[in-house]
Amino acid sequence: MMDGVASRSFPPGATVYEVVQHLVRVMSLGRGNLSEASLIAAIGAQNSTLPFGWSSFGDAKWAMTQFLGEMAEWFVDRGEFYVVAKGAALPDVPVIVSVDTGMIYSPEPVEGGKLRVLSIMRPDIRIGRKVRVVGPYYEGVYRAEVVTHSGNNRGGMATTDVLLSTAPGVF
């Protein structure tokens, strides 16, 4: 989805929640974790109203990125909209990835300070979720940045390849 056109003006005093809610609706996304409370938690209460209003015309995805800008991160997972504070993960229980739960090989560091983990198919690992890696060289809680599920049961092993954020102090 996400192909909507954001053509609307919001008056001074409008809330950030009203704008985000409108853009999510224009992009035809599910609400995911979107509530006024979760949005304020992500952006901070001091940023919750628009003293000068706001207006946009154009691609809704671009408008959302411009609007939330430096305040928060947003992403779409399985057609649902999610918003979190910059560098944060969704507030849920971490998915544990270890040799016992199907981790293949040892986690490997990659460019940009990220960590790559390969596991047997783990549909419970999704973008923005916390992942707890338990291994001999890397152990800790990270945020899933990129998740790729591939393969099938008929043609071989189905796997989940995850690129994890290793930013310190995120959680």
CA–CA dist 47, 42 (Å, integer): 10
Assign 16 a pLDDT band (cuts: 50, 70, 90): very high
| HSE-CB for 131 with a 13 A CA cutoff | 33
Q: Is 90 exceeded by the pLDDT of residue 57?
A: no
Alpha helices in 32-120 (DSSP H): 36-43, 60-68
Task: Report d(CA 22, CA 68) in Å as an integer.
Answer: 13
Taking residues 59-83, what's their average pLDDT? 91
Would you say how long the chain is, in residues? 171
Question: Global pTM?
Answer: 0.79
Of 28 and 168, the structure prediction assigns the larger pLDDT to 28
Whether the per-residue pLDDT at 171 is higher than 70: the answer is no
| Amino acid at site 36 | E
pLDDT at 78: 87
Task: Give CA–CA dist 161/147, Å, rounded.
Answer: 6
pLDDT tens per residue across span 116-163: 999 999 999 999 999 999 987 888 999 999 999 998 767 778 999 999
Alpha carbon distance 162, 143 (integer Å): 10
42-55: pLDDT as tens digits: 998 888 899 999 99
Confidence grade of residue 167 (pLDDT, cut at 50, 70, 90): low
Residue type, 42: A
What are the tens digits of pLDDT across the range 75-115?
998 899 999 998 888 888 899 999 999 999 889 999 888 99
Q: Region 6-15: what's the mean pLDDT?
A: 93
Q: What integer pLDDT is reported at residue 90 of this predicted model? A: 87
Encoding tokens for residue 155?
A: 């043609």
Give the pLDDT of residue 126: 92
Residue 1 pLDDT grade (very low, low, confident, very high; cuts 50, 70, 90): low
b/e sequence 140-159, b meaning 16+ C-beta within 10 Å:
eebbbbebeeeeeeeeeeeb
Inform me whether the pLDDT recorded for 169 exceeds 60.
no
Structural domains of the chain, ranges and CATH numbers in brackets: 8-85 (no CATH), 95-165 (2.40.30.150)
